[in-house]
Structures are given as C-alpha cells and as structure tokens.
Structure 1
Amino acid sequence: MKKIILASNNIKKVKEIKQILNDLDVEIKSLNEEKINIDVIEDGKTFEENAKKKAKEIYELLRERGDKDFIVLADDSGLCVDYLNGEPGIYSARYSGEHGNDEANNKKLLEKLKGVSDKERGAKFICQIALFDEEGAYYGITGEVKGYILNNIHGNGGFGYDPLFFYPSLNKSFAELNSDEKNLISHRGKALSKLKDLIVNLIK
C-alpha cells in the first residue's frame, strides 16, 4: 500500500489531515511515525514557498534512504487579518515569538486589534498544500475560508487561532465546531478535498 508522509509533527494538524483523508486507500504517516527527525527551516516569503520546501526536503530524504511507494504532503497554513495588512500570515505559528504557543499568539492578536471595530476585523485562513510524488513531480493547491476575528476566546476545540476565528454562516467560532463541521468548510478541508482526485490517481 502506498504511503502519504505528512511533513509535520503537529499532532493536531496530523490528526485533522488523517480525518479528512480517511476514505482513501492509503497509509498516512507523520514524520514521527516514520522515524524522521528533521527540522526544516521555514524561511520562505509565502505559504507556498514554505510548504514546498518542507515537502521537497522530506522527499529528498526518503529517496536517499531508498523508500518506495510514497507521496510527501506538506501543509503551510496561517491567518491573514485585513486590518493588520495580512498579519500574522506566514508567521502565524510563531507570532508571539515562541513557535506553537497558541495562547500567546491569540493574546498578541487580540492586543493588536484592541479597539478595532467589528467591521474592520475581517480575516481569512489560508492553507497551502505542497505534494511531491515518488518521481519528484510537484503539485500545489490552496484552500481558504473567510470570517472575522472575535474580541475574545470562544470555544474549547480546534487549535491555533480557532477560538478567535468566527465563521458567520454557522454562527460559531472554529473552536466551537465539531470535527466534521470544521473539516467540511475549513481552509485545510477545502485544499485537501481538491487534492483527493489527484491522490487517488497517484495511489493506483
């Protein structure tokens, strides 16, 4: 069976991707599950540059160690707030200065938007997927979802900026959605949905 290697050790992100792709006849493995210990420096200027770099470095490592029947999939995602001219953008995970500190990142975002009116708090989540097949062919796809930033935390689910990102159509923050609701309309869900047909062809 062909494997999809996720170029990530973010436990919550890996879980979400596995849920979205769970109907595919393929093994889905994180870097940790594949015993790959590599820290790719995300120094690109765009989501795509970062996603592509992560995927390519893992692809090259797998080729060097002789792996077969694999696809490498990397995801670079972030929040872009209109009032902040696109911040935090590619720095979403380390907005506060400490990588992966969701609480600190949310706190900084709220401070930056203190006193800003609701109509100026528009935002979007962007997910850029980069995929390399076993032969080194590259595929990229983007998914996005629009909403706005709340004035305080709502909900206990999700991760990252989910407690602050309000999705008007469902009248809930992302952190108030169950996994099925979120995966259907999220930026990551949309991007992976677009990629499913391609992945099906690659695993034949």
Structure 2
Amino acid sequence: MSGEGEEPQAIRKLAPGKLVIASHNAGKVREIAALLEGRGLDVVSAGALDLPEPEETGTTFVMNAELKARAAADLSGLPALADDSGLCVDALGGDPGIFSARWGGDAKDFGHAMRLVEDKLQQAGPDASRDAHFVCALALAWPDGHVEWFEGRVDGTLVWPPRGDKGHGYDPVFRPNGDDRTFGEIDEAEKNAISHRGDAFRQMVAAVF
C-alpha cells in the first residue's frame, strides 16, 4: 500500500542493506529484528543512531507509523521502518489506542498503564466487556519520500492480574483468542506467529521482498 493521501502505486521492493528501525523501544526493536532475520538486512535502531523521537501527532496508527518512518529516513538517508501499535479495549471506546505508550506517562511505565486500564474497566461496571485487540501499523519509508504501509490485528481478552514476564507493553494482561496464556507467557517466536505485529510483517514480507 502506498502512504495515506497518495495515489496507489506499485509496491516498491526493499533491497538488501542497511535499514533503520525507527524506534527507541529496545523490546520492540528486538522483536522487529527477529521478524526480519534472514532477509539480508543490516538492522540499526533510531536510538543507536541518536535520531530524535518525533512527536506523534497523527490520529491513526498508520499516520503515526508513517510520520516516524519518514522522519528517520529523512535524517538517516536510509530506508526506515516504523511501527505504531497499541491496545484497543472495547469497553473503553477503543482506548488507550494510539495513546497506549502515553498511558505509561513520561517514564513509559507499563505497570502503571496496565493498572490504569484495569481501573477504568472496573469503573465501567461488572458487566463491562473485557474484549480487546492489538493493532500494528508498519510504515516503510525511503529517503525520496516513498512510503508503503501495512496493518495487522489480533483479538483477545484482558486478564487481571498481569501474567508472565515475556514480551513488552501490555502483553502480560492480553490473552489472545484460542489460547489460555497471555502474550507475557508466550515465547517470542510463538507470539510472532499469531501477533498483530507478526500479521503486519507477513503482509510486508510478501509485498516488499
């Protein structure tokens, strides 16, 4: 897919070489690097390049992913891949959504963020749905301004208290449909096979490699 607001274009292929992961989140960078393994890419994070984190002013996951990818590609002169992902809770009207990281405050404390989600669910009452889904939007940008984007999703249920010490973010409270374990209890390779990020990456790999 081409970037938002652009005329549809043929999918551009990604050549082997250096690729910037436009993130300062070590857990996310590690997960993305694992998904790209064996593709002939020399992966480097925006954090390792000391690139600033742009302000996420978009109103959708795709817009924020594209904003981050474009910024990293412009500053590095290299192709850049950005991910914008978050947890959407049905009973909270889709919150925290694009603000998922920001619910953790300046320190990005996801323990606090998970507690905040649970507190709001409790306030919604005993009959409130605990259905939720994760969304992952990927944007792949080149220094000349061309962008391709892809979006993945996984549905599940929220549990409390948090379980497991794997993954990152809201993983310990999210139990994907069809499994008794939370993402925090599932090994990375197994999680990647069913996750929102894995879904988006499969689309990207099929398109650009």
TM-score of the pair, normalised by structure 2: 0.86
- Conserved 8 A contact 2:91-2:130: yes
- Conserved 8 A contact 2:136-2:197: yes
- Conserved 8 A contact 1:156-1:176: yes
- Percentage of matched positions with identical amino acids: 36
How do 1:150-189 residues align onto structure 2 when only pairs under 5 Å count?
150-189=159-198
Instruction: Show structure 1 runs of 5+ residues with no match.
Output: 64-69
Q: Give 1:27's match in structure 2, choosing from 33, 36, 42.
A: 42
The aligned amino acid for 1:187 is H
Q: Which moved more, 1:97-106 or 1:120-129?
A: 97-106
How do 1:121-132 residues align onto structure 2 when only pairs under 5 Å count?
121-132=130-141
Distance 1:4 1:199, change over 3 A: farther
Once the two structures are TM-superposed, the CA of residue 173 in structure 1 deviates from its matched residue by: 0.5
Once the two structures are TM-superposed, the CA of residue 156 in structure 1 deviates from its matched residue by: 1.4
Distance 1:140 1:155, change over 3 A: same
Question: Could you tell me how far apart the structure 2 residues matched to 1:25 and 1:59 are?
Answer: 19
Q: Give 2:108's match in structure 1, choosing from 90, 97, 100.
A: 100
The aligned amino acid for 2:89 is V
Higher helix share: 1
Runs of 4+ in 1 over 6 A off after TM superposition: none
Q: What corresponds to 1:18 in structure 2?
A: 33
Q: What corresponds to 1:139 in structure 2?
A: 148
Q: Give 1:190's match in structure 2, choosing from 196, 199, 202.
A: 199
- Conserved 8 A contact 2:183-2:191: yes
Q: Which moved more, 1:95-104 or 1:171-180?
A: 95-104
- Conserved 8 A contact 1:44-1:50: yes
Distance 1:146 1:131, change over 3 A: same
How do 1:33-72 residues align onto structure 2 when only pairs under 5 Å count?
33=48, 35-63=49-77, 70-72=78-80
Q: Which moved more, 1:77-86 or 1:108-117?
A: 108-117
Question: Could you tell me how far apart the structure 1 residues matched to 2:137 and 2:72 are?
Answer: 17
Once the two structures are TM-superposed, the CA of residue 96 in structure 1 deviates from its matched residue by: 4.1
Question: Could you tell me how far apart the structure 2 residues matched to 1:57 and 1:151 are?
Answer: 37
- Conserved 8 A contact 2:69-2:139: yes
Q: Which moved more, 1:161-170 or 1:6-15?
A: 161-170
Question: Could you tell me how far apart the structure 2 residues matched to 1:179 and 1:43 are?
Answer: 30
Q: Give aligned pairs, total.
A: 193
The CA RMSD over aligned residues, in Å, is 1.7
**Does structure 1 residue 88 correspond to structure 2 residue 103?**
no
Once the two structures are TM-superposed, the CA of residue 99 in structure 1 deviates from its matched residue by: 4.8
Q: Alignment partner of 2:100: what SS?
A: helix
Q: What corresponds to 1:76 in structure 2?
A: 84
- Conserved 8 A contact 1:31-1:37: yes
Question: Could you tell me how far apart the structure 2 residues matched to 1:123 and 1:152 are?
Answer: 16
Q: Which moved more, 1:79-88 or 1:132-141?
A: 132-141
